[in-house]
Amino acid sequence: MPRCADIGSAGRTLQRLVRLGVATLATTAGFVAAGAAGAAGAADATAAAAQAPERGGTSAAELATPQARAAAGVPRLDEAQALRIGQAALGREVPDLELLDRQGRPVRLADYRGKPLLVSFIYTGCFQVCPTQTRALHEAVQGLQTLLGPQQFNVVSIGFNQPFDDPQAMRAFAAQQRIQERNWEFLSPPRDKVAELTRAFGFSYVATPAGFDHLLGVSVVDANGRIHAQVYGDRLRADQLGKPLRELLLAAPPTASSALADMVERVRILCTKYDPDTGVYRYDYKLIFELIGGLLFFGSVAIYFLLEWRDQRRARKSSCSISRASGSAA
């Protein structure tokens, strides 16, 4: 299962401080041991100290695998437990918390009800995995354009590393990923509400010296504010998101004010299919022609029976008129 364990800014700073501290201690030891040996001995000690982190097994490269992190005592996410927590959140109602958008304006999660909502958790200090996942989500959302319009669903990315993922940081992150969709917002929750928010969505994460270890995925929330599906993966595709969104839109009750428009929209959604070669949804013209052919056939049958009914009715009227005329003559 894809996970994010990228090196954040705090992790990089910590590593630099560790290297500096080790180098300083080793240099001091070199001076004490060398005594009157002079600067040459101190330089040798400093050079040896500079290589100490590589030998110590605490560098980012050596902690790249879960096994290495476990051996070094580095905290790591229990993937199986995280998956169970995520699945247990299905059907749960999302809490109506107040967050801040990229401009610092208050936004409530209840404001997004009435349409399906895609929710992803990120932290802006992630320099590789979270940006890659967000770009993949962006491509998947663009691939949904034929299936769904931007007016039919919303997307939010929530920064969970507070107070660092503030509106300014989220705005910069969105600009770096070149996300300008009108139905996509980047939100910052209050620091004291992060635990409640992530728990409600079934999102688990563990702080590590390299940043945060967490599963990569998107929560699909229905129009009533309940979690409908969890879609995991670092390279999300349009069909992975299109399937639960399609289910929600087709199952939604039609509105009385626009019943005809809703019916046309449902037919349009049914007439689309995912193209794995292009990664986008496109119209299934074969199905469209089959539907048109079926409508023409049933329309022709209906017209035929209507004409037959009309002819028979006229014949009965003519027969009645002739009978009445014969009776009058008699």
| Structure confidence at residue 327 (pLDDT) | 61
Q: What is the pTM of this model?
A: 0.67
Distance CA 271, CA 265 (A): 10
* pLDDT reported for residue 154: 95
* Per-residue pLDDT at 134: 94
Q: What is the pLDDT of residue 21?
A: 45
What integer pLDDT is reported at residue 255 of this predicted model?
A: 64
Burial of 123 (0-12, 13-18, 19+ CB in 10 A): buried
pLDDT at residue 35 in the model? 37
Cα dihedral: 137, 142, 147, 152 (round 10): 80
300: which 2 tokens? 């022709």
pLDDT tens per residue across all 330 residues of the chain:
666 665 554 444 444 443 434 344 333 444 333 333 333 333 343 333 333 333 333 344 444 555 555 555 678 889 999 999 999 999 999 999 999 999 999 999 999 999 999 999 999 999 888 999 999 999 999 888 777 877 889 999 999 999 999 999 999 999 999 999 999 999 999 999 999 999 999 999 999 888 899 999 999 999 999 999 999 987 888 889 999 998 898 887 766 556 666 677 777 777 777 788 777 777 765 655 556 777 677 887 888 788 878 878 777 777 776 666 666 655
Q: Say what the pLDDT of residue 6 is.
A: 55
Residue 210: per-residue pLDDT: 83
pLDDT at 11: 46
